[in-house]
Amino acid sequence: MNDTFLKACKGEQTEYTPVWFMRQAGRYLPEYQKVRGKVSFLELCKSPELCTEVTLQPIDIFGFDAAILFSDILIPMEAMNLKLEFHEGAGPVFPNPIRNKDDVNKLHVPDPEESMPFVLETIRLLRKELNVPLIGFSGAPFTLATYLIEGGSSKVFLKTKRMMFQDPTLYSSLLDKITDCTSKYLRAQAKAGAQALQIFDSWAGILAPVDYLRFALPYVQRIIADLREVTDVPIIYFANNGATLLPHTTTAGADVLGLDWRINIKDAIAGVGNHAVQGNLDPIALFLPQKELEKRIATLLDDAKDAKGHIFNLGHGIQPQTPPDQARIAVDAVHRLSGKP
Ligand code: CP3
What is the per-residue pLDDT across 136-157, written as a single tens digit (0 to 9) for each?
999 999 999 999 999 999 999 9
* CATH number of the domain enclosing 193: 3.20.20.210
At 145 the pLDDT is: 98
Strands 256-258 and 235-239: parallel
Work out the average pLDDT over 29-38.
98
Question: Is 237 tagged catalytic?
Answer: no
Domain count, the chain: 1
Question: Is 27 tagged catalytic?
Answer: yes
N- to C-terminal Cα separation, the chain = 16
Rounded Cα gap, residues 341 and 331, in angstroms: 14
Ligand 1 atom showing the smallest separation from residue 44 Cα: 47
At 88 the pLDDT is: 85
At 94 the pLDDT is: 98
* Cβ contact 117:188 at 8 Å: no
Work out the average pLDDT over 70-86.
98
φ, ψ dihedrals at 257, nearest 5° = -105, 125
Beta bridge partners of 196: 135
Q: Given a cut of 90, is residue 45 above it in pLDDT?
A: yes
At 133 the pLDDT is: 98
SS (H, E, C) 283-341: HHHHHCCHHHHHHHHHHHHHHCCCCCCEEEEECCCCCCCCCHHHHHHHHHHHHHHCCCC
Residue nearest to atom 23 of ligand 1 (CA): 73
At 15 the pLDDT is: 97
Residue nearest to atom 8 of ligand 1 (CA): 72
Question: Is 23 tagged catalytic?
Answer: yes
Which residues does ligand 1 sit against, CB inside 6 Å? 22-27, 36, 41, 68, 70, 72-74, 91-92, 137, 153, 200, 202, 240, 317
Catalytic residue among 16, 28, 32, 147: 147
For residue 90, report the distance from its CA to the centre of ligand 1, in Å. Answer: 12
For residue 72, report the distance from its CA to the centre of ligand 1, in Å. Answer: 6
At 176 the pLDDT is: 98
Ligand 1 atom showing the smallest separation from residue 153 Cα: 30
Our mutation pick for probing the ligand 1 site, out of 35, 73, 316, counting the most ligand atoms within 8 A of Cβ, is 73
Residue nearest to atom 11 of ligand 1 (CA): 72
Decide: helix, strand or coil at residue 107: coil
Catalytic residue among 65, 72, 180, 255: 72
Q: Given a cut of 90, is residue 62 above it in pLDDT?
A: yes
Structural domain containing residue 309: 4-337
Each residue's pLDDT tens digit, 212-268? 999 999 999 999 999 999 999 999 999 999 999 999 999 999 999 999 999 999 999
Residue nearest to atom 5 of ligand 1 (CA): 70
Look over the chain and give the mean of its residue pLDDT values, rounded to a whole number: 98
For residue 326, report the distance from its CA to the centre of ligand 1, in Å. Answer: 20
Each residue's pLDDT tens digit, 172-190? 999 999 999 999 999 999 9
Work out the average pLDDT over 9-13.
97
Strands 196-201 and 85-87: unpaired
Each residue's pLDDT tens digit, 258-315? 999 999 999 999 999 999 999 999 999 999 999 999 999 999 999 999 999 999 999 9
Ligand 1 atom showing the smallest separation from residue 200 Cα: 18
Cβ-in-10-Å burial (0-12, 13-18, 19+) of 10 comes to: middle
Question: Is 28 tagged catalytic?
Answer: no
Beta bridge partners of 160: none
At 90 the pLDDT is: 84
Question: Is 147 tagged catalytic?
Answer: yes
